[in-house]
Amino acid sequence: MVWDDLGREAGDENQRDRDRWIGVYIGVLAVILAICSMGGGNASKEATLKNIEATNVWGFFQAKNMRRHTLRLEVDQLELTVLSNPALTAEARAAIEAKIADYKKIDAELTSNPKTNEGLDELFNRGKALEAERDVAMRQDPYFDYGEALLQIAIVLGGVAIISGGSTLLITSAVMGALGTFMTINGFSLFLDIPFIG
C-alpha cells in the first residue's frame, strides 16, 4: 500500500478529492435547478396572466363590436326612414340626419380611438399582442419542465456516484446535467425549437 505523510492511504485521499469535486458539481446542478424551477414557475404564471388579460380584452372587444353593430343597424333604419318618407318635414328630416351623423361619429370612435386606446382596432391589436406573449410563455414552459427533470436525475446520479465510486454513473449524470442546463437556457432564450417539446 502507498501511504501519504500523515499516514493515510493515498487512494483514500484521491477518493475524497473526487467526492469533493462531485459535491461541488452537484451544488452547481442544484443552483441551475433552482433557476430552472424559477423560470418554469414564471413562464407558467405569465401564460396564465396573459391568457386572462387577452380574454378580458376580447370580451371588451365583443361588447364594443355588438354596440357598433347595433348602431349601424340603427343608421340603416334611419336612412331607410328618410328615403321611404318623402313627405317628412324639413325639421324631421334634419333631426333624423343629425341623429345619423351622431351615430356615425360614435361608430368611428368605436372603430378606432387612439386617444383612449379602446377602439376596436386598438383592442384587436392589444388582444393579438397579449396572445403572442401568452404563446411565448407557453412555448417556454415545457423546456423548463424537461430541464427540471433532467437536472434532478443528474443530481441523483451524481449522489449515487459518490456512494458507488463508479464512473459510468458520473458520466451519465454529466450528460443529464448538460442536457438539463441546455433545456434551461433554451427555456429562457427559445433559440432552438425542438419538435414535440415547445
Q: Over range 192-197, report the average pLDDT.
A: 86
Per the structure block, which three cell numbers stand in for 11? Answer: 487512494
pLDDT tens digit sequence for 131-146: 999 999 999 999 999 9
pLDDT at 10: 55
Mean per-residue pLDDT of the chain: 91
Average pLDDT over residues 47-68: 97
Give the pLDDT band of residue 57 (cuts 50, 70, 90): very high
- The model's pTM: 0.77
Q: Are 119 and 111 in contact (CB under 8 A)?
A: yes
Q: Are 3 and 10 in contact (CB under 8 A)?
A: yes
Per-residue confidence band for 196, with pLDDT thresholds at 50, 70 and 90: confident
The region of weakest confidence among 6-10, 86-90, 101-105, 119-123 is: 6-10
Please report the pLDDT score of residue 166 as a whole number: 79
CA 49 centroid distance within chain: 9
Q: Is the pLDDT at 13 greater than 90, yes or no? A: no
The CA distance from 124 to 45, in Å, is: 23
The amino acid occupying position 183 is M
User: Is 116's pLDDT higher than 80?
Assistant: yes
Per-residue pLDDT, 12:
76
Q: Residue 144: CB partners within 8 Å, gap ≥ 6? A: 36, 37, 39, 40, 43, 183, 184, 187
Res 39 pLDDT > 50: yes
